[in-house]
Amino acid sequence: LKAVNIPAKVFLTNKKGYPTMAKSHQVLLAELLKRIGRTLRIIVEGPPAHEGLSNGGSTKCLPYKQYIEYIRSKEVVQEILDTEEASLETPYLDNLQRPLQPL
Compute the mean pLDDT over every residue in the chain, rounded to the nearest whole number: 80
Residue 11 has pLDDT above 90, yes or no: yes
Residue 65 has pLDDT above 70, yes or no: yes
pLDDT digits (tens, 9 = 90+) for 26-57: 999 999 988 887 778 999 988 887 765 555 55
Q: What percent of the residues of the chain are helix, what percent strand, and what percent coil, each to the nearest 5?
A: 50, 15, 35
Residue 85 has pLDDT above 60, yes or no: yes
